[in-house]
Structure 1
Amino acid sequence: MTTTAPARTKYEAVIGLEIHCQLNTNTKIFCGCSTQFGNPPNTNICPICLGMPGVLPVLNERVLEFAIKAGLALNCQIAPHSKFDRKQYFYPDLPKNYQISQFDLPIAEHGWLDINLEDGSTKRIGITRLHMEEDAGKLVHAGADRLSGSSHSLVDYNRTGVPLAEIVSEPDMRSGEEAAAYAQELRRILRYLEVCDGNMQEGSLRCDVNISVRPVGTEKFGVKVEIKNMNSFNAIQRAIEYEINRQTKAIEAGEKINQETRLWEENSQRTISMRSKEGSSDYRYFPEPDLGAIEVSEKILSIYRQELPELPEAKRDRYINELGLSVYDANLLADEHTTADYFEAVLATGADAKQAANWIMGDIMAYLKDQKINISDLPLTPKVLGELINLIDKKTITGKIAKEILPELLEKGGSVKSLVKKKGLTVLAGDQLEQIIDEVVAAHPNEVEQFKGGKTKLLGFFVGQVMKRTQGRADPKTTNQMLGKKLNA
């Protein structure tokens, strides 16, 4: 495994990410309220998630399963014993005035994740921990995007108690590119596991960046700044690059870097100060008295390991080394597990891997983008696409015929053979093709003479004339061979 060296400048960035992933459960972490996104404000709530007196939380077993599977996929050590803690802070969107989280005994620790960079190198990013916690509510600031400038704020508690996995990386990243690549690969893994949908626009995956700058060659970290409010991977990269430049200029000017939380402002493409950064002691953690210890047996771990799917990195390697696909093709096909599942279902029909990749990445993806639908909702099933590719390979139809019938297959699905028969689009061959070739040769005596005189490039002209007469129903390779024999006779 190779790693990229930091840029040869006077200073380098030290970057770590904290990513909050909403787990794909139907109900909240400690009660039976729905986790459905987009419901009217304050309708997915109950006395438990609102922290009313006398109520008791009960851990959703599915949350524990998803957290363990995510930890295993990220090469973490799963704790046989862990617990929940109370994290104390006071904010209007936190109805209990504390958050149930995990502090000193998280469910998973000491993992790693490999990322691929644009220069073709690979870098391993350490993962400090993965822990479970409940989400807070949402403040809606009237008349502004944030508190400053708003006339008043409203609170929606629908998100309160929604289950989260917080994944904390080691400070192993040195650029915005590396941080964005790490966040993308992490999201890809979680989506493969189907434990998180990763929809950043809905808040299902939220990323906080911790960043400091130090002189190259020193071991001591600089003053850490946290950046929030980034809703895309591109924004993560741009926010980091801005903050590196800001801190570097400040250090060179002799200014003090404050430990604080800053917001990324998309419109002005800059970070702005939000508040001073709290330390862990400010939260006054103590063990959650209403929830028992979490015990994870080796039997359960064994079951969950067996249920893990093939993950993106392994799938990309297999596509390259076993199927002979290019790195570009493998990355694109393995990016979403639904696309990879579709591709492999096409291969199961006996279709050629490269041809299947070309059809999916070309016409099919263009159609999906235009129609704004997912590949799993496509009327053209993998079986039908496999039939199309196999008929081309058998020379029953040509690539041109396939392109001609593809729009109807994309819209309605159906049988390729039936559609070809209905439209009369089978390949012309044998006596039919030979007759057309004879007619083309007879109609162009001057070109025939020139060909016999050594102007062999005219073979392409004759093939074109045959294809024109057959409306693309002749196989180009067969037509080339038959014309060659005819003209050289």
Structure 2
Amino acid sequence: MSRVPTAELRRYLLTGHIRCRDCLRARLPRSPGTTASPSRQTRAFASQNATIASIAPSVSAAPVTPLRKQLKEQAKALKASGTKKKRNADNQTVPGWELTVGIEIHAQLNTARKLFSAAATSFNDIPNSNVALFDVAMPGSQPIFQPETLIPAVRAALALNCAIQPVSRFDRKHYFHWDQPAGYQITQYYEPFARDGRITLYARDGIAPEDGDRVDVGIKQVQMEQDTAKTTAQPGEVHWLDFNRVGVPLIEIITLPQIHHPATAAALVRKVQMLLASVDACVSGMEAGGLRADVNVSVRRTEDVATGKLGTRTEIKNLSSFKAVEDAIIAERDRQIAVLEAGGVVEGETRGWSLGSTGTRRLRGKEGEVDYRYMPDPDLGPVVIGDDLVGHLAASMGVLPDPEIDMLIARYGLSAKDALSLMLLDNGARIQYFYRLLDTLDERLGIDSSAELETRSGHRHALLAVNWCLHELGKLTELSADLGMTPEGECKVPSADLAAILYHLHKREITAKVAKDLLWGVFRGDITSGAVSEAINANDLWFQEISEQDYAALADQAVEGEAKVLGEFLRFKQGKAKAYPQGKLMFLVGKMMRTGPEERMDPASAERVMRSRIEEVYLLALEGSK
């Protein structure tokens, strides 16, 4: 094939010049049949680059609606429609029917280059600025496999307990859509690089109660493949295409159809995201679009289970949150059951799901393997993976999530829920922040971080750190779109500054209210890094606790007129109530805190004094009056 002049390639697609590193950059197109002087071309190119630069920030900085807000809007929409939705926890099974689910998870790999070209995989650059000739199917361009993309892929497969295949090959999957310039996608259908994996889900992972304490789900295969262009819908049925994402390396994780409850399906996707983050294989999680899930759903009557034949499956595409996975499976299960109970037939098809929907919607008839016309890619040779590479990656993976969660529970006294939340938040960066925070706090408190903590009282500062990492930092995200958390575990609130705040709080040198004000000040930049103690001094925020006599006087004031509440404590003392009325106690403590100078009161001290006054004064008085 003769060399095509660059000027002809420019007219073919994007009308851009060829960059070094084998990439194209978008330029302003010329009208057909016209020639422009060099100076006019220069002005046109400068104008186009300015236009792209003005558009790009608005595209990349588009506000991201937090999932919590999306869920609130979904709840409002359901309430307005008059539809009463059954709680997912009570909707895991349907009597007389068995649900079967298989999942396909697509995850963007953490690589600097694309799968078959040297173009960069940066997602924050100007649209259509990281596009190689092969990415947009320029005539004569050839794929060149980038070996470095194999590293995160193998690490992911090892984390999923897969067997790495010594030889794998690429195939072409043919379909036509505007986001796939070549008319086919290069994937590994016949000979993937990893097979026969397994993932274990425990009750703490959020599986359905019907699955018991644990469930094992088999992984059929893990294959490498290309991503497609990013499509952004515009008003008036216009779509913008950003080819920066074309050719970005993905892995597709295909599970066996061994999931039978919607909550377990959501737990599996959540666990996979956590595993990929723990071995640094995935760019980002579902909330950022770096991981997407397709679910295959079928139902059959319980009397048909013995035959082993599954029902007709439908596929729900591109689910982008864990809740969407569970909700979409429930909706599609109920739809299929309704069709079959009405005497109908479930059609094999591809369906879609939108946040806030009460049902799935048909997208197209299901494309089978014959429709895709899979064939070995003639331009790519086999991928050979040596045992030495697999052994090195397996030895360098570090601690996987399950052993780490066990350590957090045993060593620091965390609950399973808190440990799991730390592992999941910020795509694994929040747990790194916690470790940084705890190391600094240990150092300030003079605690040997390598020593084993034997009693729960020794965990108090660790539990304090967990609470602030999860809840207080979480409250900041409700007021700001982003904490700016880095993969290394730092954010707009430096871990050293939060450690200083928690040190003074742990030593009871400041109140919780002052600590929260200091946190907000650090986050906004009102308190410079390393100046927490200076800010406390400058504003005279040190805790000066009231005396025991003052606490007792406030307790007496709070108890006035609460004879009925005191009666509950008397009933417990006389054995007429099974549980201590802790809620009533905290009600009285709350009255104390509201009555007294809150900035000089410690809730724990207030609770201790109130409990003592009730048991040593008021209950004796009540018993004496009777």
What range describes the TM-score normalised by the shorter chain of this pair? 0.7 to 0.9
User: What is the distance in 2 between the residues matched to 1:353 and 1:312?
Assistant: 19
User: What is the distance in 2 between the residues matched to 1:248 and 1:426?
Assistant: 64
Q: Secondary structure at the match of 2:503?
A: helix
User: What is the distance in 1 between the residues matched to 2:491 and 2:284?
Assistant: 22
| 1:105 is aligned to 2:196 | no
Q: CA deviation at 1:101?
A: 0.9
Query: 1:37-436 counterparts in 2 under 5 A?
Result: 37=123, 42-115=128-201, 116=205, 117=207, 119=209, 121-138=213-230, 156-200=242-286, 203-216=289-302, 217-218=305-306, 219-266=308-355, 268-336=357-425, 337-348=428-439, 349-350=441-442, 352-374=461-483, 375-376=485-486, 378-397=491-510, 399=512, 401-403=514-516, 405-411=518-524, 412=527, 413-426=529-542, 428=544
TM-score by length of 2: 0.64
Match of 2:12 in 1: none
Judge conservation of contact 1:401–1:472 (CA < 8 Å) in 2: no
Judge conservation of contact 1:15–1:209 (CA < 8 Å) in 2: yes
Provide closer, same or farther for how the CA distance between residues 371 and 263 of structure 1 changes in structure 2, counting only shifts above 3 A: closer
User: What is the distance in 2 between the residues matched to 1:417 and 1:281?
Assistant: 69
Q: CA deviation at 1:31?
A: 0.9
Equivalent AA in structure 2 for residue 370 of structure 1: L
Match of 2:15 in 1: none
Q: Any stretches of 5+ residues in structure 2 without a counterpart?
A: 1-90, 446-460, 558-584, 613-626
Equivalent AA in structure 1 for residue 515 of structure 2: A
Give percent identity, aligned residues only: 32
Q: Secondary structure at the match of 1:270?
A: coil
Judge conservation of contact 1:210–1:224 (CA < 8 Å) in 2: yes
Provide closer, same or farther for how the CA distance between residues 287 and 409 of structure 1 changes in structure 2, counting only shifts above 3 A: same
Q: CA deviation at 1:66?
A: 1.2
User: What is the distance in 1 between the residues matched to 2:394 and 2:294?
Assistant: 29
Judge conservation of contact 2:505–2:511 (CA < 8 Å) in 1: yes
Q: Deviations over 1:372-408 (max 9, x none)?
A: 2224453432233333333444454455553454433
Higher helix share: 2
Q: After superposing the two structures, state which structure 1 stretch, 33-42 or 205-214, moved more.
A: 33-42
Q: CA deviation at 1:168?
A: 0.6
Q: Secondary structure at the match of 1:49?
A: helix
Judge conservation of contact 1:63–1:163 (CA < 8 Å) in 2: yes
Q: Secondary structure at the match of 1:275?
A: strand
User: What is the distance in 2 between the residues matched to 1:89 and 1:268?
Assistant: 29
User: What is the distance in 2 between the residues matched to 1:379 and 1:142?
Assistant: 34
| 1:24 is aligned to 2:110 | yes
Equivalent AA in structure 1 for residue 159 of structure 2: A
Judge conservation of contact 2:106–2:253 (CA < 8 Å) in 1: yes
Provide closer, same or farther for how the CA distance between residues 143 and 426 of structure 1 changes in structure 2, counting only shifts above 3 A: closer
Judge conservation of contact 2:544–2:600 (CA < 8 Å) in 1: no
User: What is the distance in 2 between the residues matched to 1:388 and 1:202?
Assistant: 31
Judge conservation of contact 1:26–1:34 (CA < 8 Å) in 2: yes
Judge conservation of contact 1:312–1:335 (CA < 8 Å) in 2: no
Equivalent AA in structure 2 for residue 67 of structure 1: A
User: What is the distance in 2 between the residues matched to 1:263 and 1:473?
Assistant: 55
Judge conservation of contact 1:192–1:312 (CA < 8 Å) in 2: yes
User: What is the distance in 1 between the residues matched to 2:469 and 2:479?
Assistant: 14
Q: CA deviation at 1:51?
A: 2.3
User: What is the distance in 1 between the residues matched to 2:232 and 2:601?
Assistant: 62
User: What is the distance in 1 between the residues matched to 2:126 and 2:356?
Assistant: 29
Q: Deviations over 1:142-192 (max 9, x none)?
A: 767xxxxx5x77755443212111111111111222221211221222233
Match of 2:600 in 1: 472
User: What is the distance in 2 between the residues matched to 1:15 and 1:397?
Assistant: 52
Q: Any stretches of 5+ residues in structure 1 without a counterpart?
A: 145-149, 448-456, 485-489
Q: Secondary structure at the match of 2:292?
A: strand
Judge conservation of contact 1:85–1:102 (CA < 8 Å) in 2: yes
Equivalent AA in structure 2 for residue 423 of structure 1: N
Query: 1:435-474 counterparts in 2 under 5 A?
Result: 471-472=599-600
User: What is the distance in 1 between the residues matched to 2:184 and 2:418?
Assistant: 48
User: What is the distance in 2 between the residues matched to 1:401 and 1:265?
Assistant: 43
Judge conservation of contact 1:26–1:36 (CA < 8 Å) in 2: yes
User: What is the distance in 2 between the residues matched to 1:331 and 1:470?
Assistant: 34
Provide closer, same or farther for how the CA distance between residues 251 and 176 of structure 1 changes in structure 2, counting only shifts above 3 A: same
Q: Secondary structure at the match of 1:418?
A: helix
Q: CA deviation at 1:128?
A: 1.0
Judge conservation of contact 1:400–1:473 (CA < 8 Å) in 2: no
Q: Deviations over 1:429-460 (max 9, x none)?
A: 9xxx8xx779x69x99x99xxxxxxxxx9xx9
Q: CA deviation at 1:420?
A: 3.0
Provide closer, same or farther for how the CA distance between residues 472 and 187 of structure 1 changes in structure 2, counting only shifts above 3 A: same
TM-score by length of 1: 0.80
User: What is the distance in 1 between the residues matched to 2:519 and 2:265?
Assistant: 40
User: What is the distance in 2 between the residues matched to 1:410 and 1:154?
Assistant: 36
User: What is the distance in 2 between the residues matched to 1:188 and 1:479?
Assistant: 40
Q: Secondary structure at the match of 1:37?
A: coil
Judge conservation of contact 2:433–2:495 (CA < 8 Å) in 1: yes
Provide closer, same or farther for how the CA distance between residues 401 and 297 of structure 1 changes in structure 2, counting only shifts above 3 A: same
Provide closer, same or farther for how the CA distance between residues 418 and 82 of structure 1 changes in structure 2, counting only shifts above 3 A: same
Provide closer, same or farther for how the CA distance between residues 95 and 332 of structure 1 changes in structure 2, counting only shifts above 3 A: closer
Q: After superposing the two structures, state which structure 1 stretch, 285-294 or 317-326, moved more.
A: 285-294
Judge conservation of contact 1:400–1:472 (CA < 8 Å) in 2: no
Match of 1:487 in 2: none
- Higher relative CO (Cα under 8 Å, sequence separation at least 6) belongs to 1
Judge conservation of contact 1:428–1:475 (CA < 8 Å) in 2: no
User: What is the distance in 2 between the residues matched to 1:90 and 1:378?
Assistant: 43
Equivalent AA in structure 2 for residue 195 of structure 1: A
Q: CA deviation at 1:220?
A: 0.9
